[in-house]
Amino acid sequence: MLVAAPDIADQIAPDKAPGIGADHVSVAQYRIADEPYYLPVRDEIAQFQAAYAARLPLMLKGPTGCGKTRFVEHMAWRLGRPLVTVSCNEDTTASDLIGRFLIDARGTYWQDGPLTLAARAGAICYLDEVVEARQDTVVAIHPLTDARRSLSLDRKNELVQAHPDFQLVISYNPGYQRMLKDLKQSTKQRFVAIDFHYPAPDVEIDIVMHEGGVARDIATHLVGIAGKMRNLKGHGLDEGASTRLLVYAATLIAKGIAPIAACSMALVQPISDDPDMLEALNSVVTSFFG
């Protein structure tokens, strides 16, 4: 059965709403009312807009904590689309995304998963760290990424045609666990990609000030520390300190933790367990805040 997506998809019937027992669940809950703060790093806003205008599936590539999730939140707000986000992990199955039959006192009923909900409603669906999900999950999204723009609910014997406003966005960290897990070429080549890096220092300083609530001199020191730490990537560190961790360090400082202790908590301890590396990182911190 081919089911056309509704033109006005703001009302989702209860059997199509994941995990919520209300009589009528509105996709409006996935709308972003207030502008998420996002400082552009390059021309990624225009690139996303162009990809969305053509409804091209989009991959955001880059290290963890560099702003990919914030960016997609900002873009969903800009484009006026609801945003359905799924954080994938190694237990994420195709059913988790697509949906499943459930049983309650009334009997058996179908419950759409978040991807199906987004496809029906014309939302942007953001699959964060999709490489973590099981392979059947990745294969299930393939028909949504080409001209078919459809999603097969095999167990329900239904083919969902995606709403014209639907877009699929995935994030992908090329460095992380690449030797253990990687997306297949047959999946990668279904997406256009925007490459993310940590923001340039002047932009990152503004982000840390805004998000962490610290003065410019503190933010400048934190970004300076991150610059040194990022140079250690591949020399004993898998990844340097992310913008997220810089924001955490700033937040702790704004809450009254001394800068060296805050850096230890947010920038040093989370990213290494190796005693020599910890010592090297602590000396980077004291060279800025000592």
Which residue ranges make up the site for ligand ADP (CB under 6 A)? 37-39, 41, 62, 64-70, 199, 207, 211, 243-244, 247
CB of 251 to ligand ADP, least distance (A): 10
Query: Which residue number places its CB atom closest to ligand ADP?
Result: 67
CB of 68 to ligand ADP, least distance (A): 3
CB of 30 to ligand ADP, least distance (A): 17
Structure tokens at 68: 């990919």
Q: How far apart are CA 216 and CA 241, in angstroms?
A: 19
Give the nearer residue to ligand ADP in terms of CB position, either 9 or 170.
170
CB of 246 to ligand ADP, least distance (A): 8
Give the nearer residue to ligand ADP in terms of CB position, either 69 or 264.
69
CB of 183 to ligand ADP, least distance (A): 17
Give the nearer residue to ligand ADP in terms of CB position, either 167 or 243.
243
Give the nearer residue to ligand ADP in terms of CB position, either 143 or 213.
213
What value, to the nearest 5°, has the Cα angle with vertex 239 and ends 235 and 242? Answer: 135
CB of 74 to ligand ADP, least distance (A): 8
Give the nearer residue to ligand ADP in terms of CB position, either 30 or 196.
196
Give the nearer residue to ligand ADP in terms of CB position, either 160 or 205.
205
